[in-house]
């Protein structure tokens, strides 16, 4: 057994997976062999869920019942809605509200007595979680605005339906397609912190509600989720500044400020997901306000070319463009990370199911660095 210390488990292989693969040097991401570009531009989020959960892209005859099953599970219990209202009134953080909602979903689980090793039952539970998360999140936001929740629309796909429940208006085609793409791009990304957390929980054979709740908790940390919110806050700061956006980024870097959305633990080149969202941001700009797209492209050009960050392996990641895309879709800034969770839940579920097929309890060890041979002193003599 090796005594080499790998802080953060960096470079440590802990599992084999057929779900996703990342080439950080080439800027390549695939889900079960399909490039992220092909999936984002040619498939729906529901098709990608099917791919992750069942191992192949669905035919039309397979997709219809799969989508219908998701549609049938969108409603959430009145107790969940009441809790979302109380949390909104208490000014709770959206990620904390989502964590609570997913925990509550299990109270109405019709297969709560299923054997932990019944992976088909686990998949059905995961489907219910995935279908209900958008409803609970949208309801929470509506309550924060002092408005009543909007019931799910059975005629809309998962992405378009979420935007509809959030605003009360059906999104146009560009908005719906853009958000659907964003969900696809975030669906899976190897053994990141939240996915590994879900796998660790799943390895104990805890239920899938516990695993997804754990994933949400890990994603809520600022070192994992939240960078796209930081990016958008910087863009708003630029917009409210008296400086031209080019001047702003020059001054900020001279002052030593770090611009969020650059650099990635895995990618040494531009994140392929960022390239796709940059295209969507441009399309949204052409049909609306273009300043956010102009800000991001100017920052990228300055930092990449003039500051040479790309040569140092520091390039835009998916968060750099997702923040402004979500903002252009009218999504509140503090809902960005919960949306990340809404998408990534599909990946968490897939990884738990895959790992449990040949399960072994995940149990690493730590190198002890504490004192040795301490002399015990009874309480009365200390």
The Cα–Cα gap between 368 and 89 comes to 46
DSSP calls for 305-316? IIS-TGGGT--B
**How high is the pLDDT of residue 223?**
86
**How high is the pLDDT of residue 1?**
57
**How high is the pLDDT of residue 3?**
75
Sign of the alpha-carbon dihedral angle for 279, 284, 286, 292: negative
Which residue among 186, 189, 245, 264 is the active-site one? 264
**Residue 94 phi, psi (nearest 5):** -55, -40
**Does residue 271 carry a catalytic annotation?**
no
**How high is the pLDDT of residue 276?**
95
Helix axes 208-219, 193-203, angle to 10 degrees: 150
**How high is the pLDDT of residue 52?**
98
Which residue among 188, 230, 319, 351 is the active-site one? 319
**How high is the pLDDT of residue 311?**
76
**How high is the pLDDT of residue 7?**
80
CATH of span 42-221+335-357: 1.10.580.10
Instruction: Quickly count: other Cβ atoms within 10 Å of residue 29's Cβ.
Output: 26
**How high is the pLDDT of residue 314?**
83
**How would you write the pLDDT of the chain (382 residues) with one tens digit per residue?**
567 877 878 778 889 999 999 999 999 999 999 999 999 999 999 999 999 999 999 999 999 999 999 999 999 999 999 999 999 999 999 999 999 999 999 999 999 999 999 999 999 999 999 999 999 999 999 999 999 999 999 999 999 999 999 999 999 999 999 999 999 999 999 999 999 999 999 999 999 999 999 999 999 998 888 888 999 999 999 999 988 888 998 898 889 888 888 888 888 889 999 999 999 999 999 888 889 999 999 989 888 877 777 778 888 889 899 999 999 999 999 999 999 999 999 999 999 999 999 999 999 888 899 999 999 999 999 9
**How high is the pLDDT of residue 194?**
97
The whole-model pTM stands at 0.94
227-329 classified as CATH 1.10.230.10: yes
Domain residue ranges of the chain, discontinuous segments joined by +: 42-221+335-357, 227-329
**Does residue 56 carry a catalytic annotation?**
no
């Amino acid at each position: 057994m090796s005594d080499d210390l790998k802080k953060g488990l960096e470079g440590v292989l802990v599992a084999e997976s057929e779900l996703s693969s990342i080439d950080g040097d080439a800027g390549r991401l695939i889900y079960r062999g399909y490039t992220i570009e092909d999936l984002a531009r040619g498939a729906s989020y529901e098709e990608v869920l099917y791919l992750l959960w069942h191992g192949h892209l669905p035919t039309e005859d397979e997709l219809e019942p799969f989508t219908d099953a998701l549609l049938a599970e969108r409603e959430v219990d009145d107790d969940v809605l009441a809790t979302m209202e109380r949390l909104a009134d208490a000014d709770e953080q959206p990620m904390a509200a989502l964590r609570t909602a997913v925990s509550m979903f299990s109270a109405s689980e019709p297969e709560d007595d299923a054997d932990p090793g019944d992976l088909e039952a686990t998949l059905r539970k995961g489907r219910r979680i995935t279908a209900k998360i958008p409803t609970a999140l949208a309801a929470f936001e509506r309550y924060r605005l002092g408005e009543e929740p909007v019931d799910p629309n059975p005629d809309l796909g998962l992405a378009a339906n979420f935007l509809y429940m959030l605003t009360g208006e059906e999104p146009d085609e560009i908005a719906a397609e853009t958000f659907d793409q964003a969900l696809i791009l975030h669906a899976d990304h190897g053994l990141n912190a939240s996915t590994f957390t879900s796998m660790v929980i799943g390895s104990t054979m805890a239920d899938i509600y516990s695993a997804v709740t754990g994933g949400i908790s890990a994603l809520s940390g600022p070192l994992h989720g939240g960078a796209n919110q930081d990016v958008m806050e910087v863009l708003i700061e630029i917009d409210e500044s008296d400086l031209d956006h080019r001047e702003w980024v020059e001054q900020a870097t001279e002052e030593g400020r770090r611009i969020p959305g650059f650099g990635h633990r895995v990618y040494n080149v531009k994140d392929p997901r960022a390239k796709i969202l940059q295209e969507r941001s441009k399309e949204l700009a052409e049909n609306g306000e273009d300043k956010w797209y102009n800000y991001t492209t100017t920052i990228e050009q300055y930092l990449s070319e003039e500051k040479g960050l790309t040569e140092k392996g520091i390039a835009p990641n998916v968060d750099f463009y997702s923040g402004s895309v979500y903002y252009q879709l009218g999504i509140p800034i503090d809902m960005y990370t919960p949306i990340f969770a809404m998408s990534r839940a599909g990946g968490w579920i897939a990884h738990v199911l895959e790992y449990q097929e040949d399960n072994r309890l995940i149990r690493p060890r730590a190198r002890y660095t504490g004192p040795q041979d301490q002399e015990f002193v009874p309480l009365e003599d200390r």
